[in-house]
């Protein structure tokens, strides 16, 4: 049995974040379950390297505002670290550290040659005007220049950032090093060496997993309904892909409000509506009724997809979930306390580190293509993504069945074990 102290880690720069403590609690549970070497467990609990930077930005009205930016590299054991960059008002060091840790397990499950990383800037991107987002992104890139690189740490989009953000990072980094270096980021525009299908990859991967789960449960997609929280990159693509399978999307929510239509929401029309309103929201869509945000997750449905933020399924609402499948598009949407409640239900959970791994998988394809300066076509990307996602899905399910454990514990075990094995084999320097 692992002898890691039960309360480890004690106080550290990350530990005032409930999200970081949640990631540590998961790691502790896994360490116990797989009898992980305590020295390795302790090393995995703390990120390898973290940088906090101040990012001064000239605002459109002439003022200077200073934002706080973070980049956390959880592990560099398996290759460069890899992970998204998040722009969100309340992002902090601990949240970023948790997300970086989850990226390590995710890359482990998918057998990708990366460690986990994550970045963030505490800013509400919806409040930025004119050229502020570009100046913020470029200055942040400059401030963390010393710890990123195609063989060190490679960023990608996450909440609040997109292809354009990655293009600015690519350009800023390239200007610094003196040559075009597309392999510094993934999730770039295709014209700049981005991978066809990267934008859709996470939602597609979520859908491949859902389809497998439906098959296991003997449910035909055309008879299924879905509720989706978040209508950004992950949520909207998941909706589009589910609709192609015949699934009816009956409710959707975003940060501005939630909508419901039991006859099925027309996703193409909703996307058009969203693109045309100023806040880019689903709220106010005329072909659905407005509902309270607190209702969204507990609507009876076949498939519930949280695709917005972490810690939304808690002990307060877990007992009220009325879905058959919980497909975690977001990172960390379910707290360990909620997990314990769900364990006593018949809800089939597709855990985040498996469910949303399509994004980092196609990011890996993009990185490889940029390094080789050779582009794949869309069919190749889709076929490879599907192959790797299904492989991972079945590895997790087989592990869960073999050890009679939850899908989450199985997924975490596989992810943690892969990183731990590599750490063990490389040994401890010096």
- Please list the active-site residues: 118
Minimum CB separation from ligand NAD for residue 359, in Å? 3
State yes or no: residue 238 binds ligand NAD (CB under 6 A). Answer: no
Q: Taking CB under 6 A as the criterion, which residues in 326-355 touch ligand NAD? A: 329-331
In the block, tokens 């075990």 appear at 413
- The two tokens of residue 263 are 């006859």
Report whether 345 contacts 321 (CB < 8 A): yes
* Nearest residue to ligand NAD, scored by beta-carbon proximity: 232
Collapsing DSSP to helix, strand or coil, 46 comes out as: coil
Q: Taking CB under 6 A as the criterion, which residues in 159-178 touch ligand NAD? A: 159-160
- Among the residue ranges 65-73, 251-259, 342-350, 394-402, the one whose residues contact ligand NAD (CB under 6 A): 251-259
Separation of alpha carbons 334 and 389, rounded Å:
21
In the block, tokens 């454990």 appear at 405
- The two tokens of residue 262 are 């039991």
Minimum CB separation from ligand NAD for residue 195, in Å? 12
Q: Which of 17, 165, 225, 233 binds ligand NAD (CB under 6 A)?
A: 233
Provide the pairing of β-strand 325-327 with 348-350. parallel
* Of 63, 56, 78, 74, residue with least CA distance to 14: 74
- The two tokens of residue 102 are 């989850």
Q: Which of 253, 283, 341, 354 binds ligand NAD (CB under 6 A)?
A: 253
Q: Which of 101, 234, 239, 388 binds ligand NAD (CB under 6 A)?
A: 234
Minimum CB separation from ligand NAD for residue 329, in Å? 5
Minimum CB separation from ligand NAD for residue 416, in Å? 19
Provide the pairing of β-strand 248-254 with 153-157. unpaired
- Nearest-Å Rg of the Cα atoms of the chain is 21
State yes or no: residue 359 binds ligand NAD (CB under 6 A). Answer: yes
Report whether 364 contacts 205 (CB < 8 A): no
Q: Which of 73, 141, 186, 202 binds ligand NAD (CB under 6 A)?
A: 202
State yes or no: residue 232 binds ligand NAD (CB under 6 A). Answer: yes
How many residues form the binding site for ligand NAD (CB under 6 A)?
23
- The two tokens of residue 383 are 């076929």
Report whether 87 contacts 161 (CB < 8 A): yes
Minimum CB separation from ligand NAD for residue 235, in Å? 6
Residue numbers at the binding site for ligand NAD (CB under 6 A): 157-160, 202, 229-235, 253-255, 307-309, 329-331, 356, 359
């Amino acid at each position: 049995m692992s002898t890691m102290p039960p309360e480890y880690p004690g106080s550290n720069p990350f530990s005032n974040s409930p999200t970081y403590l949640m990631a540590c609690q998961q790691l502790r549970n896994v360490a116990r379950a797989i009898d992980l070497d305590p020295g390795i467990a302790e090393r995995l609990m703390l990120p390898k390297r973290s940088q906090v930077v101040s990012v001064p930005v000239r605002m459109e009205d002439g003022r200077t505002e200073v934002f706080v930016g973070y980049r956390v590299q959880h592990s560099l054991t398996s290759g460069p670290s890899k992970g998204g960059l998040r722009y969100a008002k309340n992002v902090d060091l601990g949240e970023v550290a948790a997300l970086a840790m989850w990226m390590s397990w995710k890359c482990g499950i998918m057998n990708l040659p990366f460690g986990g990383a994550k970045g963030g800037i505490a800013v509400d991107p919806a409040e930025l005007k004119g050229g502020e987002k570009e100046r913020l992104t470029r200055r942040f890139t400059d401030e963390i220049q010393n710890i990123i690189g195609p063989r060190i740490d490679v960023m990608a989009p996450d909440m609040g950032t997109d292809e354009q953000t990655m293009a600015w990072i690519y350009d800023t980094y390239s200007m610094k090093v003196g040559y075009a270096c597309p392999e510094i980021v993934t999730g770039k525009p295709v014209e700049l060496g981005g991978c066809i299908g990267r934008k859709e990859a996470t939602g597609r991967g979520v859908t491949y997993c859902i389809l497998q789960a439906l098959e296991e449960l003997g449910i035909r997609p055309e008879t299924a309904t879905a509720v989706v929280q978040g209508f950004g990159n992950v949520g909207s693509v998941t909706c589009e892909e589910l609709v192609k399978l015949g699934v009816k999307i009956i409710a959707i929510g975003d940060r501005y409000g939630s909508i419901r239509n039991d006859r099925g929401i027309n996703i193409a029309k909703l996307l058009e509506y969203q693109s045309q309103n100023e806040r880019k929201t689903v709220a106010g869509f005329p072909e659905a009724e407005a509902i309270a945000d607190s209702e969204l997750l507990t609507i009876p449905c076949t498939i519930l997809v949280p695709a917005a933020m972490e810690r939304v399924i808690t002990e307060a609402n877990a007992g009220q979930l009325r879905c058959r499948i919980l497909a975690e598009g977001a990172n960390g949407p379910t707290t360990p306390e909620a997990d314990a409640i769900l364990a006593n239900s018949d809800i089939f959970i597709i855990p985040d580190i498996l469910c949303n791994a399509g994004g980092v998988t196609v990011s890996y394809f993009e990185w490889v293509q940029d390094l080789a300066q050779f582009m794949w076509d869309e069919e190749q990307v889709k076929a490879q993504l599907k192959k790797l996602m299904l492989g991972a899905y079945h590895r997790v399910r087989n592990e869960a069945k073999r050890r009679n454990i939850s899908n989450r514990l199985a997924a975490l075990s596989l992810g943690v074990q892969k990183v731990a094995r590599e750490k063990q084999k490389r040994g401890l320097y010096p």
